[in-house]
Amino acid sequence: MKFLIDGHCDTIEKALDNKLSLQDKKLSFNLCDAAQLNIPIIQMAAAFISPGNQNSFQRAKTIFKYFFEQKEKLGDKIIQIQSNNDIDKVIAENKLGIVLTIENGSAIEDNLDNVDFFCHQGVKVMSITWNNDNLLGCGALTKNDNGLTEFGKKYIQKLNQKNMLIDVSHSSQKTFWDTSKISEDTVVATHSCCYHLCSHPRNLTDEQIRQIAAMNGIIGICYCTQFLSETGRATTKEIVDHIDYIANLVGIDYVGLGSDFDGLEEEDIPKNLKGISQINNLIQELQNRGFDEDEIQKILGENWLRVLQTRKTILS
């Protein structure tokens, strides 16, 4: 393993809410366990905004403020990824890089100018909804799928203008397709799985997977057992089932990791992949299933690297 890139975690929020250092081993993703792997790591870390939060913008600001405080305390142990030079530094110097993201576009409330604020903070990826409907569009668990609102369509255009990656995880079917029609740039699913293998509304259909690949995006496979298996129980075997399915459907270049570390309930965490310290269990399963070294490196990081490095978002 040359390096590791993971498309999604909720670690900063969990650290904030529990007053933990980002080094604390109570976190599924933490700097101590990450350092033990002795490889460059880039972790995409979200500010998650729960539905119904009346102060969504302030909540997102508070989460990022905690990150910046932690970064200052930890010094050069964390590099915030804002340019290709930052990526090069992480890989060349065996460092930990963090890409700031937002899970649930309701973080902007009713003001598109708030996208500018988050862009200035160094946020590189923003999603549209969580499972519930919001001012932008319908979520995966919607009861009446009307897709993007007019405000939501302007939001997609705004993200394109700011060269920010659009994350379609948690979007409803129609919100997904509206987004793919409007967006002039890549879309990604930072933490999603395959509907064909597990018919959960959070998962992506074959048509959606093909569309993301056609837009040169990537699907980061989420480790949530509810999305991995109809039984609600899963290990690294089921994670690799979903990786293998996408690789066979659209090619190895469009699948990666999207763990959702520190965003899962205890019962939804795979038995043998409870945190970054156990990532070698996933690598072993990939090897057991016949993936070669080059394919494994694509899954573990090169595919996400392609998406990040070829975008103006990361150059701005």
Any idea what DSSP says for residue 163? T
Q: What mean pLDDT is predicted for residues 56-60?
A: 98
Residues ≥6 apart with Cβ < 8 Å to 7: 44, 188, 190, 191, 218, 220, 256, 257, 258, 259, 304
Q: What is the per-residue pLDDT for 312? A: 60
Q: Answer yes or no: is pLDDT of 254 > 80.
A: yes
Q: What mean pLDDT is predicted for residues 34-62?
A: 96
Looking at the DSSP assignment, which residues form a beta bridge with residue 45?
9, 100
Q: What mean pLDDT is predicted for residues 297-307?
A: 98
Q: What is the per-residue pLDDT for 203? A: 98
Helices in the chain by DSSP H: which ranges? 11-17, 31-36, 56-74, 84-92, 113-121, 150-161, 173-182, 206-214, 225-228, 236-250, 279-288, 293-297, 303-309, 312-315
Both tokens of 167, joined, read 């994350």
Q: How do 96-103 and 41-48 pair as beta strands? A: parallel
Query: Which among 79, 8, 11, 84 has a CA at the least distance from the CA of 40?
Result: 79
pLDDT band for 157, please (50, 70, 90 cuts). Answer: very high
Q: Answer yes or no: is pLDDT of 316 > 70.
A: no
Residue 104, CA atoms < 13 Å, CB-side half-sphere: 22
Q: What mean pLDDT is predicted for residues 67-76?
A: 96
- The rounded distance, in Å, linking the Cα atoms of 260 and 55 is 24
Give the distance, in angstroms, between the CA of residue 22 and the centroid of all CA atoms in the same chain.
18
Boundaries of every domain in the chain? 4-315
pLDDT band for 1, please (50, 70, 90 cuts). Answer: confident
Q: Answer yes or no: is pLDDT of 135 > 80.
A: yes
pLDDT band for 5, please (50, 70, 90 cuts). Answer: very high
State the average pLDDT for the chain. Answer: 96
pLDDT band for 52, please (50, 70, 90 cuts). Answer: confident
- The rounded distance, in Å, linking the Cα atoms of 72 and 8 is 22
Q: Answer yes or no: is pLDDT of 314 > 70.
A: no
pLDDT band for 315, please (50, 70, 90 cuts). Answer: low
pLDDT band for 310, please (50, 70, 90 cuts). Answer: confident
Q: What mean pLDDT is predicted for residues 146-174?
A: 98
Q: What mean pLDDT is predicted for residues 282-300?
A: 98
pLDDT > 70 fraction of the chain, expressed in percent and rounded: 98
Q: List phi, psi (to 5°) of 313.
A: -50, -45
Q: Answer yes or no: is pLDDT of 259 > 60.
A: yes
108-131: pLDDT as tens digits: 999 999 999 999 999 999 999 999
Q: Exposure pattern of 26-46 as b/e (b: 16+ CB <10 Å)?
A: ebbbbbebbbebebbbbbbbb
Q: Which CATH superfamily is domain 4-315 in?
A: Metal-dependent hydrolases (3.20.20.140)
Report pTM: 0.97
- The rounded distance, in Å, linking the Cα atoms of 2 and 41 is 9
